[in-house]
Structure 1
């Protein structure tokens, strides 16, 4: 470890020692503070100088519990994130399909470093990272950054759009695809680009992990207000709720008859955006404002526990879906 000199450096090194080695269950004695300063940074310090530096850190607003206060030792009482918050963030990264495995590993190590060395022993479960499904587009974060930049600049982008093949790899299905990007939405464990393809007057969705060879073009975006039924800006939360599974189409009033036992599932998916009204002791009416194409998959999921009441067009679509499914299972 190289030797670090200077009074200011000693203060910063002392703060880093408290961050790394101390917490409420592991207070550091004055002897330990002096030991870590010398071992990690080559700084020789006396008790008085360490005590003086701790006082300076307290004056700077650092929340440090002192020996005089707790009669146990010195520890950093307040951190940017507590252990539970770090655990939640790490689990979120680990289970996010849209983050490539190598990037997820790097992010998890960064989050671990925000806690003490004792916290790192609590997250040994991250060794299971390879068991979680993650996409393989290594340019994902670079593409995300370029799309954000294009949205901020109000300029079009071109890219190659891909699909996964039976080999589990991306294969191009369309090159030099040019769109006007408006928003990025995290939904269904994936990131989606909301954009307009110039040939049509609607919004379309593209999974960012399936985008490669992206370029920001000098051409300005098509104003979103020119598209039918589109506001000047997208309310991302509302838009994601109205487009279940990120299927396109204009939102419509959809009324379902469902078992009351499914109320928890409705809340899980739609939250406060769903109106639920009891019909009898076992059934309820569910009123939604969603794009019909996506809600089909929600309806199929609950099968005989769900019936479409409105609109008639969606009811007919579900009937046709069921007839098509039955045809596949008819005996020869």
Structure 2
């Protein structure tokens, strides 16, 4: 009975109190009776409160003194509350981040939010609990959480995984659906890989792995992985045995750009000064800037050339790649091809 009552008291303090919602000992006694039909006396309540504090729970109270009939002074504790595990702002940030994850289906997202906010402080519950962040740009991956769970298990157990990898196509109703990649004969392509790490880049989850029978490290979007399963009969290939023996997952924003496979190289480009904020958003502190006389800056980053190729096209009006020369030439060819394509469209 004691163990159950002290646990019920803990739940009461966690869910009904915080710095803005304090309860006197009498309030606690009344709420224990109302909520759990548990009758406690003041002495037993004080024992339970002391036990919770000794166990490490963040119990707070206000000290007050009163003078007893014999003239002695007694110190009392009142206005009890428990400091929440997460502040309202912290919970808001975490629930908004969950809402902003494009790969989570609504059902799983709501389940995670409910778990996260279970036992939240009354101050948090009094605030607006509906997230104001909504991700509008991508369909959810139904198998996302399960896929991550299987990958973590495979890495822990040092075994390979097999899966199908999908691309989005339009179904008969014109809606995008994830469809497994196929071979030239129409059969579904199966991927057998040695998983090494899960990397999160720009809100997307990637698997860093080596695909059989190759010996190079690749990255796959986890929300595009379908029908994953452990293949315990095959041991995972050690990363040291791949052709990229020193490969680690990208450690900074510049190297994470679009998560293309392959090595990162030193790159340099001109950028209009008014997009310095955009450059920092994409490359972070890994970008270094060099002043120029005009309204441009020279930016130095270390990143994947293919990724920078695509990024430079996105900011084409404001960015000019200078180095490496091979990348500059490749972008030039792409721009000429695009120009011809648009000229043909206009002519027609």
Distance (Å, rounded) in 2 between the aligned partners of 1:325 and 1:35:
75
> Normalising by the residue count of structure 1, what TM-score does the alignment of the two structures yield?
0.89
Correspondences of 1:138-287 after superposition (within 5 Å): 138-166=142-170, 167-174=175-182, 175-217=189-231, 218-231=233-246, 234-238=248-252, 241-287=254-300
Correspondences of 1:14-33 after superposition (within 5 Å): 14-33=9-28
Contact 2:164/2:190 (8 A) holds in 1: yes
Distance (Å, rounded) in 1 between the aligned partners of 2:176 and 2:46:
59
Answer yes or no: is 1:57 the counterpart of 2:70: no
Answer yes or no: is 1:80 the counterpart of 2:88: no
Distance (Å, rounded) in 2 between the aligned partners of 1:114 and 1:236:
37
* Structure 1: gaps (5+ residues): 1-5
How far off is 1:118 after superposition? 3.4
Distance (Å, rounded) in 2 between the aligned partners of 1:90 and 1:130:
11
2:327 corresponds to which residue?
A: 314
Distance (Å, rounded) in 2 between the aligned partners of 1:284 and 1:200:
41
SS at match of 1:157: strand
Distance (Å, rounded) in 2 between the aligned partners of 1:201 and 1:288:
28
Distance (Å, rounded) in 2 between the aligned partners of 1:18 and 1:26:
10
Contact 1:137/1:210 (8 A) holds in 2: yes
Contact 1:243/1:251 (8 A) holds in 2: no
SS at match of 1:329: helix
Distance (Å, rounded) in 2 between the aligned partners of 1:190 and 1:266:
19
SS at match of 2:192: strand
SS at match of 1:244: helix
How far off is 1:116 after superposition? 1.6
Answer yes or no: is 1:116 the counterpart of 2:124: no
Encode CA deviations 1:263-289: one digit per residue, 9 max, x unaligned: 222222111211211122522211111
SS at match of 1:178: strand
* Structure 2: gaps (5+ residues): 65-75, 183-188
Distance (Å, rounded) in 1 between the aligned partners of 2:97 and 2:323:
37
Structure possessing the higher radius of gyration over alpha carbons: 2
Relative to structure 1, is the Cα distance of residues 285 and 114 closer, same or farther in structure 2, using a 3 angstrom cutoff?
A: farther
How far off is 1:123 after superposition? 3.6
Contact 1:184/1:191 (8 A) holds in 2: yes
How far off is 1:56 after superposition? 2.3
Larger proportion of helix: 1
Encode CA deviations 1:21-53: one digit per residue, 9 max, x unaligned: 011111113232122212222211123322332
How far off is 1:159 after superposition? 0.5
Encode CA deviations 1:138-170: one digit per residue, 9 max, x unaligned: 322111111112122332211111112222221
2:140 corresponds to which residue?
A: 136
How far off is 1:244 after superposition? 1.0
SS at match of 2:85: coil
Distance (Å, rounded) in 2 between the aligned partners of 1:58 and 1:151:
40
Distance (Å, rounded) in 2 between the aligned partners of 1:322 and 1:13:
68
Contact 2:11/2:119 (8 A) holds in 1: no
> Normalising by the residue count of structure 2, what TM-score does the alignment of the two structures yield?
0.85
How far off is 1:297 after superposition? 2.4
Distance (Å, rounded) in 1 between the aligned partners of 2:136 and 2:3:
44
Aligned length: 323
SS at match of 1:255: strand
1:3 corresponds to which residue?
A: none
